[in-house]
Amino acid sequence: MLGYKKRIILIHHELGIPDSYENKYALKLQKEETKLVEIGNDIYGRLQRLIPLATSAWAEMKEHAQKEGVTLNIVSAFRAVDKQRNIIYMILGSGQTISEILKVCAAPGYSEHHTGRAVDFTSTECEPLSEEFENTEAFIWLNENAKIYSFRLSYPKNNLLGIAYEPWHWAYSQA
């Protein structure tokens, strides 16, 4: 893990992420998972993956939702550290500052997506990755049923982690 931590520090310096990041956002360094299972394509046609335990829980949860007439669409699941770095580079290129970005996007090494347990959901009722997701049948269903499958909303309103409210971001918590 020491080599991994060193790599993350170098990436943070490259992106201009302050050394105080971990303390300011109360986030923990997340291990980048390597044992992943394919779960199908996201809404963009990209193959997504999760860890085996999360994959099984996801399959059961998706089937349950479908039986109740609710479709859970995936925007993204596992995301490597390098992909997270590239996302931040892209946003920096659009003119946002690193401090603005870190309010809505975890720094490389700190994203739950690295663990293979996180899933970003969407619905045909809203734009992907928007707060409007909280007004969809999918979100209502997740709030009532996701805990049965050990999924939880990672960034609720007014969370103590310092990350903006993300009604679409759920993580498997039994890994």
Specify the pLDDT at position 1.
Answer: 62
- Structural domain tally of the chain? 1
Q: Which amino acid, one-letter code, is at 80?
A: A
- Inform me whether the pLDDT recorded for 175 exceeds 60: no
- Inform me whether the pLDDT recorded for 108 exceeds 70: yes
Count the Cβ atoms, other than its own, within 10 Å of residue 170.
Answer: 25
- Is residue 89 very low, low, confident or very high in pLDDT (cuts 50, 70, 90)? very high
Specify the pLDDT at position 24.
Answer: 86
Please identify which residue in the block is written with the tokens 């479709």: 71
Q: Which amino acid, one-letter code, is at 32?
A: E
Q: What is the CATH number of the domain that holds 98?
A: 3.30.1380.10
Tokens found for residue 50 = 């999760």
- Inform me whether the pLDDT recorded for 69 exceeds 90: yes
Higher pLDDT, 26 or 83: 83
Show the beta-strand stretches assigned E in the chain.
Answer: 37-41, 47-50, 73-76, 118-122, 151-155, 166-172
Rounded CA separation 89/67 (Å): 41
Query: What is the pLDDT averaged over residues 98-114?
Result: 95
Which structural domain, as residue segments, surrounds residue 121? Answer: 2-172
